[in-house]
Protein backbone atom coordinates (compact mmCIF):
# COMPACT_ATOMS: atom_id res chain seq x y z
CA UNK A 1 0.00 0.00 0.00
CA UNK A 2 1.37 3.39 -0.89
CA UNK A 3 0.31 6.68 0.59
CA UNK A 4 -0.80 7.89 -2.80
CA UNK A 5 -3.93 5.77 -2.79
CA UNK A 6 -7.36 7.06 -2.00
CA UNK A 7 -8.35 4.19 0.30
CA UNK A 8 -5.40 4.64 2.66
CA UNK A 9 -6.20 8.33 2.85
CA UNK A 10 -9.87 7.67 3.69
CA UNK A 11 -8.93 5.12 6.35
CA UNK A 12 -6.58 7.68 7.91
CA UNK A 13 -9.57 10.01 8.33
CA UNK A 14 -11.75 7.18 9.64
CA UNK A 15 -9.18 6.45 12.36
CA UNK A 16 -9.21 10.10 13.38
CA UNK A 17 -13.04 9.93 13.51
CA UNK A 18 -12.93 6.80 15.70
CA UNK A 19 -10.59 8.60 18.08
CA UNK A 20 -12.70 11.78 18.25
CA UNK A 21 -15.87 9.76 18.86
CA UNK A 22 -14.21 7.77 21.65
CA UNK A 23 -12.97 11.00 23.28
CA UNK A 24 -16.41 12.62 23.13
CA UNK A 25 -17.88 9.50 24.74
CA UNK A 26 -15.72 10.17 27.78
CA UNK A 27 -16.80 13.80 28.24
CA UNK A 28 -19.53 14.94 30.61
CA UNK A 29 -22.32 17.50 30.46
CA UNK A 30 -21.93 20.84 28.74
CA UNK A 31 -18.16 20.99 29.20
CA UNK A 32 -15.84 23.07 27.02
CA UNK A 33 -14.14 19.85 26.03
CA UNK A 34 -17.37 18.26 24.80
CA UNK A 35 -18.33 21.46 22.92
CA UNK A 36 -14.95 21.74 21.20
CA UNK A 37 -14.71 18.06 20.30
CA UNK A 38 -18.28 17.94 19.01
CA UNK A 39 -17.72 20.97 16.78
CA UNK A 40 -14.49 19.46 15.51
CA UNK A 41 -16.20 16.12 14.79
CA UNK A 42 -19.12 17.80 13.00
CA UNK A 43 -16.92 19.84 10.63
CA UNK A 44 -14.65 16.86 10.07
CA UNK A 45 -17.44 14.39 9.25
CA UNK A 46 -19.29 16.79 6.97
CA UNK A 47 -16.13 17.73 5.03
CA UNK A 48 -14.99 14.10 4.84
CA UNK A 49 -18.34 12.84 3.51
CA UNK A 50 -18.62 15.56 0.87
CA UNK A 51 -15.05 15.13 -0.35
CA UNK A 52 -15.45 11.34 -0.35
CA UNK A 53 -18.56 11.68 -2.52
CA UNK A 54 -16.81 14.05 -4.92
CA UNK A 55 -13.51 12.17 -5.19
CA UNK A 56 -14.68 8.55 -5.06
CA UNK A 57 -18.43 8.00 -5.02
CA UNK A 58 -19.12 10.10 -8.12
CA UNK A 59 -17.05 7.61 -10.13
CA UNK A 60 -18.39 4.51 -8.35
CA UNK A 61 -21.97 5.69 -8.82
CA UNK A 62 -21.68 5.59 -12.60
CA UNK A 63 -20.13 2.13 -12.75
CA UNK A 64 -23.15 -0.23 -12.87
CA UNK A 65 -21.50 -2.88 -10.68
CA UNK A 66 -20.90 -0.47 -7.80
CA UNK A 67 -23.99 1.74 -8.08
CA UNK A 68 -25.96 -0.04 -5.34
CA UNK A 69 -23.19 0.06 -2.72
CA UNK A 70 -22.54 3.70 -3.53
CA UNK A 71 -26.19 4.64 -3.21
CA UNK A 72 -26.34 2.86 0.15
CA UNK A 73 -23.33 4.76 1.47
CA UNK A 74 -24.50 8.16 0.26
CA UNK A 75 -27.86 7.57 1.97
CA UNK A 76 -25.95 6.83 5.19
CA UNK A 77 -24.00 10.10 4.79
CA UNK A 78 -27.32 11.90 4.70
CA UNK A 79 -28.53 10.12 7.86
CA UNK A 80 -25.27 10.95 9.66
CA UNK A 81 -25.64 14.61 8.74
CA UNK A 82 -29.19 14.65 10.10
CA UNK A 83 -28.00 13.07 13.36
CA UNK A 84 -25.21 15.66 13.70
CA UNK A 85 -27.63 18.54 13.09
CA UNK A 86 -30.13 17.08 15.56
CA UNK A 87 -27.39 16.73 18.20
CA UNK A 88 -26.41 20.37 17.63
CA UNK A 89 -30.04 21.32 18.35
CA UNK A 90 -30.14 19.27 21.58
CA UNK A 91 -29.23 20.52 25.06
CA UNK A 92 -25.75 19.16 25.61
CA UNK A 93 -26.23 18.76 29.36
CA UNK A 94 -29.31 16.54 28.90
CA UNK A 95 -29.40 12.76 28.98
CA UNK A 96 -31.05 12.93 25.55
CA UNK A 97 -27.83 14.34 24.07
CA UNK A 98 -25.79 11.35 25.17
CA UNK A 99 -28.47 8.92 23.98
CA UNK A 100 -28.45 10.57 20.55
CA UNK A 101 -24.66 10.64 20.53
CA UNK A 102 -24.60 6.87 21.16
CA UNK A 103 -26.87 6.41 18.13
CA UNK A 104 -24.52 8.52 16.02
CA UNK A 105 -21.55 6.54 17.34
CA UNK A 106 -23.20 3.22 16.49
CA UNK A 107 -24.37 4.29 13.05
CA UNK A 108 -21.15 6.02 12.04
CA UNK A 109 -18.87 3.20 13.19
CA UNK A 110 -21.07 0.82 11.23
CA UNK A 111 -20.77 3.10 8.19
CA UNK A 112 -16.97 3.31 8.15
CA UNK A 113 -16.51 -0.37 9.00
CA UNK A 114 -18.75 -1.25 6.07
CA UNK A 115 -16.84 1.10 3.77
CA UNK A 116 -13.48 -0.34 4.77
CA UNK A 117 -14.45 -4.02 4.87
CA UNK A 118 -17.01 -4.32 2.08
CA UNK A 119 -17.19 -1.33 -0.23
CA UNK A 120 -13.59 -0.21 -0.66
CA UNK A 121 -12.31 -3.71 -1.59
CA UNK A 122 -15.12 -3.96 -4.18
CA UNK A 123 -14.43 -0.48 -5.52
CA UNK A 124 -10.70 -1.23 -5.81
CA UNK A 125 -11.47 -4.03 -8.29
CA UNK A 126 -12.80 -1.45 -10.73
CA UNK A 127 -10.03 1.13 -10.39
CA UNK A 128 -6.48 1.42 -11.66
CA UNK A 129 -3.58 2.64 -9.56
CA UNK A 130 -3.70 5.90 -11.56
CA UNK A 131 -7.40 6.33 -10.74
CA UNK A 132 -6.64 5.88 -7.04
CA UNK A 133 -3.75 8.33 -7.11
CA UNK A 134 -5.87 10.91 -8.89
CA UNK A 135 -8.75 10.39 -6.46
CA UNK A 136 -6.49 10.99 -3.51
CA UNK A 137 -5.40 14.34 -4.94
CA UNK A 138 -9.03 15.32 -5.59
CA UNK A 139 -9.99 14.21 -2.08
CA UNK A 140 -7.27 16.32 -0.42
CA UNK A 141 -8.18 19.40 -2.46
CA UNK A 142 -11.92 19.04 -1.91
CA UNK A 143 -11.58 18.20 1.79
CA UNK A 144 -9.75 21.48 2.40
CA UNK A 145 -12.42 23.44 0.52
CA UNK A 146 -15.33 21.62 2.15
CA UNK A 147 -13.80 22.03 5.61
CA UNK A 148 -13.54 25.78 5.09
CA UNK A 149 -17.26 25.86 4.25
CA UNK A 150 -18.54 23.32 6.80
CA UNK A 151 -20.83 24.53 9.57
CA UNK A 152 -22.53 23.31 12.70
CA UNK A 153 -26.21 23.67 11.77
CA UNK A 154 -28.71 22.89 14.52
CA UNK A 155 -31.81 21.28 13.03
CA UNK A 156 -34.13 19.19 15.18
CA UNK A 157 -35.00 15.85 13.69
CA UNK A 158 -38.69 15.22 13.20
CA UNK A 159 -39.83 12.38 15.43
CA UNK A 160 -42.60 11.17 13.18
CA UNK A 161 -41.12 10.73 9.75
CA UNK A 162 -43.45 9.85 6.94
FE1 LIG B 1 -18.50 7.61 4.06
FE1 LIG C 1 -15.52 7.59 4.71
Interval 38-57: pLDDT, tens: 999 999 999 999 999 999 99
Ligand nearest to the CA of 17: 2
| More confidently predicted of 119 and 2 | 119
* Cα distance between residue 27 and residue 54, in whole Å: 33
* % of the chain at pLDDT higher than 90: 93
Q: Is the pLDDT of residue 2 over 70?
A: no
Taking the centre of ligand 1 as the mean of its atom positions, its distance from the CA of residue 70, in whole angstroms, is 9
153 in the Ramachandran plot: left (φ > 0), alpha (ψ -120 to 50) or beta?
Answer: beta
Amino acid 3: pLDDT? 56
Q: What is the pLDDT of residues 103-130, one digit of tens each?
A: 999 999 999 999 999 999 999 999 999 9
How many Å lie between the centroid of ligand 2 and the Cα of residue 106? 15
- Sorting pLDDT into bands at 50, 70 and 90, what band is 24? very high
Alpha carbon of 113 to ligand 1 centroid (Å)? 10
The number of CA neighbours under 13 Å toward the Cβ of 67 is 4
Average pLDDT for 23-36: 96
* Closest-approaching ligand to the CA atom of 15: 2
34 CA to centre of ligand 2 in angstroms = 23
**Distance from residue 6's CA to the centre of ligand 1 (Å):** 13
From the CA of 77, how far away is ligand 1's center (Å)? Answer: 6
pLDDT band at residue 158, thresholds of 50, 70 and 90?
A: confident
Rg for the chain (alpha carbons), in Å? 16
Amino acid sequence: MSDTEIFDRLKQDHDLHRELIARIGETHGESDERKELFEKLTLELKAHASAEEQALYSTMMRKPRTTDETRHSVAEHHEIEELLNDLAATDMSSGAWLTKFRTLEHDYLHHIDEEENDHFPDFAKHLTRDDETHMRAVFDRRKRAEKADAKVTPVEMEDAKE
